[in-house]
Amino acid sequence: MTTLTQPTGATATSTPLARAAELGPRIAAHASRHDLDGSFVAEAYDELRASGLLRAAVPVELGGDGATIAELTALQRELAHHCGSTALASAMHQHVVAFTAWRYRRGLPGAEATLRRVAEEQILLVSTGGGDYTHPHGDAVRVEGGYRVTGRKRFASQSSHGAVMSTMFCLDDPDQGRRVLNMAIPIATSGVAVADNWDTLGMRGTASNDIDLVDVFVPEEKVLANRPWGVLDAPLQVISSIAFPIVTGVYLGIAEAAYAAAVSAAGRRSGDPSTQRQIGVMRGRLQVAGWALDGALAAVGEDPTPSYDTVLAVMAAKAEVARAGIEVCDLAMEVAGGPAFFRGSVIERAYRDIRAVKFHPFTPEDTLLALGRDALGVEG
């Protein structure tokens, strides 16, 4: 596989956020076509590779930018101003790399080798955690030297272009009971097949196809964790604290793009009090949602430790961004009027893309239940 060189010139010294803002218009030029076709945002990924953004979360000493969780959140939020599908798909790569960097800082096996591949080859890492979470799909059976796994994984963003899948399978252990095994599986492994079934309301350029695994052998050294079934345990708390602020930044960025388009579309109606109020509602909702995300990032910090309180803070912020983002995109459609109803409109695409926010765990309703149960001391 070809090794990619480090960016040169101004790009080599600029921040990931600055590079994202620079390439944003070039990504935006292809966004509508990929949305209409339901095709993967390939040109955007060419841009991300050329600018070194796929290695943003890799530690500096291994060839990346060493971006923090907050910096990755800002990066994906900026990309979402230009193309929601690019931002969401690449967020799934970024959070896996960020968690791998967390493991690297603790000297855990396999982390350095994976990070070096991301830095040198800019391979894509695919996550199935959103569809698996505490109750993964598929089963593992212990065999000599490792496990054989079978199952179907849904919502695997960028799966058609990924190199390694970070996934989970269930194991019925005679001594410990039902367990969850976190695994790293190359997508080119025999028995792994990526479906071509991503045809959705929004986020149509993410290539979040299903992945089928049939009797796939996974060596013991590729099992990264052995966790209890159905529990948001310590490793998953850390993963959630890293992943979901980054994902939430995407949806805030989509809503901000819709707001900007609505302000621009207001035009000659800017003197109308009704229009002024709608713009004011949107601006206020985005401001508060941004504060919520900032608060969650402060709770997470740069190197999170397992904490259910932190997970709840992140999920509360995500729920706030979800509610605000949907309201803002709805209002943007009203402010812009008929032209926003046509395919190809930034607002029309944002109106559909923002709906995907409810499909990530926790849903906004599940978040309210979790917050209430925790406050009352009730087991979930």
The mean pLDDT of 199-213, rounded to a whole number, is 98
Q: Which band of pLDDT confidence, cut at 50, 70 and 90, is reported for residue 267? A: confident
Residue with tokens 């997508």: 187
Whether 251 is in a domain gets the answer yes
Whether 74 is in a domain gets the answer yes
22-33 pLDDT per residue, tens: 999 999 999 999
Q: What is the DSSP letter of 360?
A: S
Same domain, 119 and 164: no
Range of the domain at 282: 234-375
> Would you list the DSSP string of 211-263?
EEEEEEEEEGGGEEEEEETT---HHHHHHHHHHHHHHHHHHHHHHHHHHHHHH
CATH number for the domain spanning 115: value is 1.10.540.10
Same domain, 239 and 224: no
Name the percent of the chain lying above pLDDT 90: 94
CATH number for the domain spanning 184: value is 2.40.110.10
Please tell me the predicted confidence (pLDDT) of residue 5: 39
Question: Which of 228, 255, 279 corresponds to the end of one domain?
Answer: 228
Same domain, 221 and 244: no
What whole-number distance in Å separates Cα of residue 300 and Cα of residue 77?
17
Same domain, 133 and 119: no
Whether 198 is in a domain gets the answer yes
Residues 6+ apart with CB under 8 A from 218: 140, 146, 147, 148, 149, 183, 185
Question: Which of 196, 228, 260 corresponds to the end of one domain?
Answer: 228
Same domain, 304 and 331: yes
Residue with tokens 């969650």: 296
Whether 315 is in a domain gets the answer yes
Same domain, 66 and 190: no
Query: What are the structure tokens assigned to 241, written together?
Result: 């604290």
9-18, 144-153, 286-295, 355-364: lowest mean pLDDT where? 9-18
178-190 pLDDT per residue, tens: 999 999 999 999 9
Same domain, 296 and 170: no
CATH number for the domain spanning 316: value is 1.20.140.10
Question: Which of 68, 93, 123 corresponds to the end of one domain?
Answer: 123
Same domain, 105 and 153: no
> What is the model's pTM?
0.95
The mean pLDDT of 80-108, rounded to a whole number, is 98
Give the chain's domain count: 3
Same domain, 182 and 92: no
Same domain, 100 and 193: no
Same domain, 239 and 370: yes
Whether 7 is in a domain gets the answer no
Same domain, 157 and 207: yes
